[in-house]
Structure 1
Amino acid sequence: MAKVATVITDLFEDIEFTSPRDVLIEVGHEVITIGPEAGHTAKGKQGEAEVTIDKSIDDVKSADYDALFIPGGFSPDKLRKDDRIVDFVREFAFARKPIFTICHGPQLLVNADILRGKDITSVKQVAIDVKNAGANFYDEEVVIDPSGIISSRTPEDIDAFNKAIVEALA
């Protein structure tokens, strides 16, 4: 089964992390949380979820993972100022490994400069950012780019997103 690297920090959108994580684990995949500091307890912006970061970005290599998951909320915006995280994300794109992102998650893809010519969706307020980064934006519940990027808009689309990421790893 797949090892899924999840980049996350404080103010992630609770259900956009917990629901995909739970579904991935349920079907047998391993989900590893990665952030600036191992052991940090990241809190969801709704106050409904907390997650202890498994590994520091300094202690991981993209080659050790099969896919990357970027939950939404304010977490991606906070993480994109960290060049180590941005480089980690970029490595998944260059290796053409699956990248799963929802809501504000594409902000990290914008900073990694990997969206030119890619098909993607996001929450409405990030749409202009992905368009300016050269992506083809679609206002749909799930968009699957041939490169392996699977994107979704909001918690309302979570079931379709979960189905798409499970199928991608099957």
Structure 2
Amino acid sequence: MSKLAVLITDMFEDSEYVKPAEAFKKAGHELVHVGLESGATVKGKQQTPVKIDKTPQEVKVADFDALFIPGGYSPDKLRVDERVVQFVKEFVESGKPVFLICHAPQLLITAQVLKGRKVTGWKSIIQDIKNAGAEFSDQEVVEDGNLISSRSPADLPAFIRACSKRLK
């Protein structure tokens, strides 16, 4: 079974975390919640609590098989922390699967790893994606190499199927 790093902080989009997390756990995968403060409890926009297991400096890309970044405001809050940005950059460059939904591409934009890639995301970040040198594709799931991206909670069934196929 796979071990996933879940990059998350306050104000994540609850369904974009809960539904994939439930599916991954049900399939036997392990989730490690990576955030700004070990032991802290962060909450989604609808108050779903998530306990942070580790900070970016306490983990290595080699510890994980995949990275999952839920959307909402969480990616925007995380992208100002250099430790988080460096972890994302190293993860994308490792070639291991990276699962993005909604606003999650914001972290990859800040990490400067989207140039020449094809992704999708929430409509308010379309121009940001293009400005980062990526190709935006308005589809429920876009797969480009190790990146799997979706636009919104409406895309969750297809997103979960695509991500699950990449996990062993």
1:39 aligns with 2:39: yes
RMSD: 0.7
Partner Cα distance (1:54, 1:19) in 2: 19
State the 4+ residue runs in structure 1 displaced beyond 6 angstroms. Answer: none
Question: What is the distance in 2 between the residues matched to 1:93 and 1:37?
Answer: 23
Percent sequence identity is 52
1:164 aligns with 2:124: no
Specify the alignment match of 2:86 in structure 1: 87
Decide which moves more: 122-131 or 53-62.
53-62
Work out whether residues 119 and 145 of structure 1, in 8 Å CA contact, stay in contact via their aligned partners in 2: yes
Task: Name stretches of at least 5 consecutive residues in structure 2 with no aligned partner.
Answer: none
- 1:151 pairs, out of 146, 149, 152, with 149
Q: Which residue number in structure 1 is paired with residue 118 of structure 2?
A: 119
Q: What residue is the counterpart of 1:53 in the other structure? A: 52
Contact in 2 for aligned 1:8/1:71 (Cα 8 Å):
yes
How far apart are the structure 1 equivalents of 2:11 and 2:19?
Answer: 16
Q: TM-score, normalised by structure 1?
A: 0.97
SS of the residue corresponding to residue 92 of structure 1 reads helix
Q: Which amino acid aligns with 2:60?
A: K
Q: Is residue 105 of structure 2 the alignment partner of residue 102 of structure 1?
A: no
1:64 is the counterpart of 2:63: yes
Aligned to 2:77: 78
Partner Cα distance (2:19, 2:135) in 1 = 27
Q: Distance in 1 between matches of 2:91 and 2:49?
A: 26
Amino acid at match of 2:65: D
